């Protein structure tokens, strides 16, 4: 009999913190999974390593070049406005609560996420496999769900022009907006710190009813806890996630009975590192250029747009005319000077001219070079060539590997500090919505969002660096027999594993 599959996603769970929670007996159910399965401690996240991008990669099996979601905040060149997914409550208010809600809940899945990148829910749904999810950013599936609000909440949603049905899994729950069945779990998903309980309450009902073949069980509160208190303080929030998972295990008859019927994958979308300083990217660049402001009536007056994305950021050059190369170069020079910027990276033609972005994709990205600068070093690279990375992808590389703290030995490029750095940067830069210049923040720094907020004193993520970028994966009853044989796992490898579990061809993972 084909076992069901549950994908457990604990937002921002650092591999080391998971191990510490298990060893201190604060996560006994996760520990029991590890005893029965295999763990990969260093699965690499996306770049930027933020939840919208990482969740898209996890659910589509492709990076931002394929799925098109590029950050917590980004500039839409066609609509000439910022997209804000909720970097903070203050940032949401700056752009307008209703506008941000519309982009987060509706547009991310049904407009921004590329329709050329089918999700796991869509692929499984096409094969007649029953799918379900508790609240998760990427939900696009084959079943139509009507807005489920009543009374005042429904009128507020209507005021936001949020009247649409959405396409999701067969069983779909998104707080008090969408629910495929009555559960009595209440609208607690809207309050940070209570979202794990909502997910567990919903999932208990689904387990008891046997209402799925594939369930994505999302536990987001660890991310909130780590942002506020720092990653070193997440033992309690991982313990809470463990307790919520144990609730659905008990609903399935206890661990032995549950694992007789279910395979399990336990993972995270990224990790976090401690943040001590804010990096006011928009304010700093605003000293030299007219920076596009949120909700402006005259976007044509702006010279650049600035998108802070936690510990990453993007600069968009809005003048596509003859001044573009000059502005591009000046912006790069200014970014290099900023304390808190680690990497500066962009796309250039063979003669070094920066690429003019239009928002409709690149005609021939493989004819371009990615350029990355760090600490006075410069490295250029593009797919193809004789050099291999740890994952076996081929690259043409010139310049100084030190720009990515890289080591080249026997025809292989490897960077401990920036895992899977070439592929992640290439995918981020060649996405249609990518900024003209991308930055990755230095250790201890986070870009201040458009609400004036950073998580200084707590934790954050988003950079290309190792601390933000690694997630654990525990396979129980699914996946390869020896996951350690693959030298480097990435989030985009998980969708093929899920599809293969159900006898479907997941395709060759990208990168």
For 356-384, the pLDDT digits (tens) are 887 777 777 788 999 999 999 999 999 99
Query: Same domain for 262 and 284?
Result: no
pLDDT (0 to 100) of residue 185: 84
Residue carrying structure tokens 């940067």? 425
Mean of per-residue pLDDT scores for the chain = 92
Task: Select from 386, 387, 463 the least CA-distant residue to 424.
Answer: 463
Assess if residue 357 is contained within a domain.
Answer: yes
Residue count (the chain): 511
pTM of the model: 0.94
Query: Same domain for 248 and 324?
Result: no
Assess if residue 236 is contained within a domain.
Answer: yes
**For 425-456, how does the pLDDT look when each residue is reduced to its tens digit (9 = 90+)?**
999 999 999 999 999 999 999 999 999 999 99
Gap between the terminal Cα atoms of the chain: 33
Query: Same domain for 323 and 256?
Result: no
Q: Find the Cα–Cα–Cα–Cα dihedral 266, 269, 272, 278, rounded to 10°.
A: -160
Query: Same domain for 281 and 263?
Result: no
**Phi then psi for 174, rounded to 5 degrees?**
-140, 70
pLDDT (0 to 100) of residue 352: 86
Dist. CA 98–CA 89, nearest whole Å: 12
Query: Same domain for 218 and 331?
Result: no
CATH number for the domain harbouring residue 187: 3.40.720.10
Between 35-44, 220-229, 314-323, 424-433, the lowest mean confidence (pLDDT) is in 314-323
The average pLDDT across 335-358 equals 93
The average pLDDT across 199-221 equals 95
Dist. CA 478–CA 417, nearest whole Å: 30
Expressed as residue numbers, the domain containing 251 is 4-61+118-274+466-501
158 pLDDT above the threshold of 70: no
The average pLDDT across 245-268 equals 97
Query: Same domain for 314 and 430?
Result: yes
pLDDT (0 to 100) of residue 187: 59
For residue 176, what pLDDT band results from cuts at 50, 70 and 90?
confident
Dist. CA 378–CA 427, nearest whole Å: 19
Q: Which two tokens stand for residue 176?
A: 């008090």
Tally of structural domains, the chain:
2
324 pLDDT above the threshold of 90: no
**For 462-492, how does the pLDDT look when each residue is reduced to its tens digit (9 = 90+)?**
999 999 999 999 999 998 877 777 889 999 9
* Residue 485 buriedness (CB in 10 A; 0-12 / 13-18 / 19+): exposed
Query: Same domain for 247 and 298?
Result: no
For residue 506, what pLDDT band results from cuts at 50, 70 and 90?
low
Query: Same domain for 330 and 446?
Result: yes
Task: Select from 391, 320, 332, 330 the least CA-distant residue to 357.
Answer: 320
């Amino acid at each position: 009999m084909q076992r069901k599959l549950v994908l457990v996603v604990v937002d921002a769970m650092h591999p080391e913190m998971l191990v510490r929670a298990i060893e201190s007996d604060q996560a006994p159910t996760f520990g029991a999974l590890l005893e029965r399965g295999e763990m990969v401690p260093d699965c690499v996240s996306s770049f930027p390593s933020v939840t919208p991008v990482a969740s898209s990669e996890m659910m589509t099996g492709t990076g931002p070049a394929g799925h098109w979601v590029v950050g917590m905040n980004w500039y839409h060149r066609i609509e000439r406005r910022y997209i804000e997914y909720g970097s903070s409550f203050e940032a949401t208010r700056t752009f307008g609560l209703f506008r941000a809600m519309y982009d987060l809940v509706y547009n991310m899945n049904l407009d921004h996420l590329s329709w050329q990148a089918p999700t796991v829910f869509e692929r499984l749904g096409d094969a007649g496999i029953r799918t379900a999810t508790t609240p998760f950013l990427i939900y696009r599936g084959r079943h139509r769900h009507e807005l489920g609000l009543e009374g005042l909440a429904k009128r507020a949603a209507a005021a936001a022009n949020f009247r649409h049905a959405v396409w999701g899994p067969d069983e779909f729950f998104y707080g008090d907006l969408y629910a495929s069945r009555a559960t009595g779990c209440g609208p607690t998903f809207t309050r940070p710190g209570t979202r794990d309980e909502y997910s567990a309450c919903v999932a208990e009902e689904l387990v008891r009813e046997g209402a799925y073949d594939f369930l994505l069980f999302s536990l987001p509160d660890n991310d909130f806890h780590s942002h506020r208190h720092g990653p070193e303080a997440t033992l309690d929030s991982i313990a809470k996630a463990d307790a919520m998972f144990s609730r659905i295990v008990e609903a399935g008859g206890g661990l032995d009975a549950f694992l007789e019927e279910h395979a399990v994958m336990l993972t995270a979308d990224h990790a976090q590192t401690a943040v001590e300083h804010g990096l006011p990217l928009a304010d700093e660049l605003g000293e030299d250029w007219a920076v596009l402001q949120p909700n402006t009536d005259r976007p044509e007056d702006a010279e650049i747009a600035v998108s802070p994305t936690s510990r990453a950021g993007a600069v968009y050059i809005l003048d596509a005319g003859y001044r573009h190369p000059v502005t591009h170069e000046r912006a790069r020079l200014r970014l290099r000077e900023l304390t808190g910027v680690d990497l500066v990276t962009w796309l250039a033609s063979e003669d070094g001219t920066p690429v003019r972005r239009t928002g409709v994709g690149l005609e021939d990205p493989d004819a371009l070079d990615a350029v990355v600068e760090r600490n006075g070093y410069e490295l250029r690279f593009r797919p193809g060539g004789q050099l291999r990375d740890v994952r076996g992808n081929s690259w043409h590389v010139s310049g100084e590997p030190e720009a990515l703290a890289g080591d080249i030995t026997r025809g292989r490029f490897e960077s401990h500090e920036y895992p899977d750095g070439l592929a992640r940067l290439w995918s981020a830069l060649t996405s249609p919505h990518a900024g003209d210049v991308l930055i990755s923040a230095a250790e201890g720094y986070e870009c201040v969002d458009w609400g004036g907020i950073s998580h200084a004193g707590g934790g954050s993520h988003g950079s290309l660096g190792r601390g933000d970028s690694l997630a654990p994966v525990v396979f129980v009853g699914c996946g390869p027999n020896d996951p350690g044989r693959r030298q480097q796992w990435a989030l985009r490898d998980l969708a093929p594993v899920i599809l293969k579990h159900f006898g479907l061809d997941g395709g060759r993972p990208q990168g």
